Amino acid sequence: MSTPIPRSPQPPSPPKLHPLLAQYLLQLAVHPLRTKALTSATLSFLQEVIGSNVAGLPHSQIPKDASPLSKILARYHVDARAIKMAIYGFFVSAPLGHYLVGLLQKAFAGKVGFKYRVAQLLASNFLVAPVQTSVFLASMAIINGAKSLDDVIRTVKSGFWAVIRVTWIVSPLSMVFAQQFVPMELWVPFFNMVQFTLGTLFNIKVKKMRLAAARKEAKDRERQRAKEDRPSLNPHSWEAEPGTD
């Protein structure tokens, strides 16, 4: 009687992806820039809508005879600013990230080892991230109504270090997390969600700060107006007229 030869264990099959995710990854491989642009436009649009609703911004004024759809869109802040954010995501954010990251990957192509991974992470944080942060803040200034180049520069200067510090913290942590727990094929959706969450939180914080500043300015104007309307007392009116006791 022959002894059965034990079979070598088969490697575990990779987890089956959801059909929509598989189709997205296929489009990302075939049409990378177009897919990233559409993704960035969608997420930027949602960032603006969610940020406006969570921050509690007042609804835009619409005519009383507007259609029910227009009233619903205005109520949930689906407005021109959200459309501008989508345009920013499609034409600015996605192409910029695509080409900057592509250049970074080409610079470190074929280089393996711990020191090269650290060097790539440092290059990403100190070369790529500052450019993306500056372009992001400049675009936000324009979308929010900056009237001159000085307004744009002032916005970039005032917000640069606050944004870049958070980026320097989140970027390495999310990279380490992805290397340990996220399959390679899911890295793009994972980092998209990290950027979406971070961008939404920034959006909410900025809108709340702007709303608080507007309320404070309105109170200051009201206080100044009340002070100007208050009748002033003329000290000479209390003096007795000449020739009277």
Instruction: Tell me, yes or no, whether 10 lies in a domain.
Output: no
Which of the residue ranges 67-71, 112-116, 140-144, 241-245 would you say has the lowest mean pLDDT?
Answer: 241-245
105 located within any domain = yes
Q: What is the mean pLDDT of residues 6-28?
A: 72
What does the pLDDT look like over 18-43, one tens digit per residue?
A: 888 899 999 999 999 999 999 999 99
pLDDT in tens, 106-161: 998 888 888 888 888 899 999 999 999 999 999 988 988 888 999 999 989 988 99
The pLDDT of residue 174 is above 60: yes
Q: Domain residues for 140?
A: 25-216
What value does the mean pLDDT take over residues 163-169? 92
225 occurs within a structural domain: no
Tell which residue, 168, 169, 194, has the closest CA to residue 181.
194
Question: What type of residue is 164?
Answer: I
Q: Is pLDDT above 80 for 167?
A: yes
- Give the whole-number percent of the chain exceeding pLDDT 70: 88
Please report whether residue 49 resides in a domain: yes
pLDDT at 236: 56
List the one residue out of 213, 197, 127, 139 whose CA is nearest residue 164: 127
pLDDT of amino acid 224:
86
Alpha-carbon span 17 to 9, nearest angstrom: 23
159 is a domain residue: yes
- List strand residue ranges (DSSP E) for the chain, in order: none
Question: In the block, which residue shows the tokens 């002033």?
Answer: 232
- Tokens in use for 193? 């969600």
Residue 241 lies in a domain: no
pLDDT in the model for residue 53: 92
Domain count, the chain: 1
Question: In the chain, pLDDT over 90 holds for what percent of residues?
Answer: 41
Q: Is the pLDDT of residue 235 over 70?
A: no
- pLDDT of 88 reads 96
Lowest pLDDT segment from 14-18, 149-153, 236-240 = 236-240
Alpha-carbon torsion angle 165, 168, 170, 174, nearest 10: 180
Give the torsion sign (CA, 109, 176, 91, 147): negative
| Residue with the larger pLDDT of the pair 27 and 235 | 27
Report the pLDDT value the prediction gives residue 231, as an integer from 0 to 100.
63
* Residue 184 counted as domain residue: yes
- Examine residue 5 and state whether it is found in any structural domain, yes or no: no
Confidence of residue 232 (pLDDT cuts 50, 70, 90): low
